[in-house]
Amino acid sequence: MTFFRISLILFLFHSLLSPSLGQGKYSNEFLSIGVGARAQAMGNSVLASVSDVTAGVWNPAGLAFAETYEGIQVGAMHAEWFAGIGKFDYLGLTLPFSNDRRRLAFSMIRFGIDNIPNTLSLYEADGTVNFDNVSEFSAADYAFLISYAQDLKVKQGRLLLGGNIKVIHRRIGPFANSWGFGLDLGMQYRKGPWRFGLLARDIPSTFNGWSFSFSEEDKEVLTITDNEIPINNVEVTKPAIGMGIGRYFQINDVGIYPEINWLITTDGQRNTLISSDPFSIDPSFGLELDYKQFLFLRAGVNQFQREIDFDNTELLRYRPGIGVGLKIGQINLDYAFTDLGAENSSYSHIVSLMIQFKSK
């Protein structure tokens, strides 16, 4: 109850503050990438089915599906995007309360690009080029999430509720950094083979307070090269609603699980399959096959976008993904290969690991 009291106070604080702040489209978009090779292989269609430590990022309600005797779960993931230029890492931990109906989780995410050349001091005062003045810096986004979930134990099926408090830190070398805060609320309902999921993300909005630090020499270079000198500001991430539905089929030793998700954004018209202002809808679809809950094969598709070719013909592009998984004892090892449809062949290999420490 303390968790929800704190959430309510912060919710009211946001409601008073948000109308006076600027709105940033695609703000904190690195959190939409998602964690876990299972999700990436299934086109991020996991809102209704996720039930391990990664639920702290996808849908915190799913954390409560694990029973107390299943103990502590630790999850980790590493992925390289844009042919290795960007590094995406995740580390998560979930542990049960003594009450069988509740769970707590901690998650950390980093998406960064390292070794970026800083050429602001490339030229000397006399106009000559001095490459010794070139230094390197990193641009990285961090997110820290604290999640709570509870199983309400309804008479028919299972109703799970959960929420996130998230702290976001973004840094661009020595030049800029920001701190932000946000809230997510999630729900899952399971009855028989059916799975339903609902996620309210960034409610009522998430903000990032940016501060910039440029030397007078840097500002002079930016002015001479017709670049705008940024000023301190606040960036707002508008809310989004995610919905998912799936059904599990069992045929002898083979399980089949298809799931479809919809993400409804509220920050204006986006290039999605269903595009309007202010609401846009981005659907995704995933499929998972398992053999005795030991070997898993997965495929999915998401990020449908319309593009205009050189001859003015409209093309529908999307991001497919495939993957495999193994469950050996208390260890889950998953692999995904995604972004196969990228025009520049910027594919990504994603590996994630989950270890479970069962209670005695």
Which of 25-39, 57-71, 226-240, 307-321 has the highest mean predicted lDDT (pLDDT)? Answer: 57-71
Q: Outline where the chain has alpha helix (H).
A: 2-17, 37-41, 55-58, 216-224
Mean pLDDT, all residues of the chain:
84
Residues 6 or more apart whose Cβ sits within 8 Å of residue 154: none
Angstrom distance (rounded) from CA 148 to CA 11? 16
Sorting pLDDT into bands at 50, 70 and 90, what band is 288?
very high
Q: Write out pLDDT tens, residues 116-148.
A: 887 766 666 666 777 766 777 888 999 999 999
The β-bridge partners of 283 are: 262
Q: Tell whether the model's pLDDT for residue 184 goes beyond 50.
A: yes
Q: pLDDT tens-digit profile of 90-109?
A: 999 999 987 778 999 999 99
Q: What percent of the chain has pLDDT over 70?
A: 87
| Residue 201 pLDDT exceeds 90 | yes
Contacts of 301 (CB under 8 A, 6+ apart): 43, 284, 285, 318, 319, 320, 321
Q: What percentage of the chain exceeds 90 in pLDDT?
A: 50
- E strands, the chain, where? 22-23, 72-81, 86-96, 102-118, 135-151, 158-172, 176-191, 194-201, 206-212, 233-237, 240-247, 249-251, 254-265, 274-275, 280-291, 295-308, 314-328, 331-338, 348-357
Torsion, Cα of 315, 43, 267, 212 (10° steps):
-110
More confident call, 271 vs 143: 143
Pair 70, 357: CB distance under 8 Å: no
| pLDDT: which is higher, 12 or 292 | 292
Distance CA 119, CA 135 (A): 7
Nearest of 224, 121, 125 to residue 174 by alpha carbon:
121
Task: State yes or no: pLDDT of 330 exceeds 50.
Answer: yes
Amino acid code (one letter) for 227: N
Helix/strand/coil for 239 = coil
Backbone angles phi, psi at 271, to 5 degrees: -85, 80
Q: What is the pLDDT of residue 37?
A: 94
pLDDT for 21 beyond 70:
no
**How much is the average pLDDT of 212-220?**
77
Full DSSP string of 94-158: EEE-SSTTEEEEEEEEEEEEEEEEE-TT-B-TTS-B-GGG-EEEEEEEEEEEEEEEEE---SSSE
* Domain annotation for the chain: domains and CATH numbers: 2-357 (2.40.160.40)
- Placement of tokens 């000559």 in the chain: 128
pLDDT tens per residue across span 336-359 = 998 754 455 567 889 999 999 987
Per-residue pLDDT, averaged over 52-81, amounts to 91
Q: Which of 17-21, 30-34, 184-188, 262-266 has the lowest mean pLDDT?
A: 17-21
* Beta strands 233-237; 249-251: pairing state: unpaired
User: Residue 83 phi/psi, 5° resolution?
Assistant: 55, 40
Per the DSSP assignment, residues forming a β-bridge with 277 are none
Residue listed under structure tokens 């604290």: 146
Helix (H, G, I), strand (E, B) or coil at 87: strand
Average pLDDT over residues 169-177: 87
Q: Is the pLDDT of residue 235 over 70?
A: yes
The per-residue pLDDT for 141 is 93
Beta bridge partners of 102: 150
Predicted local confidence at residue 124, as pLDDT: 64
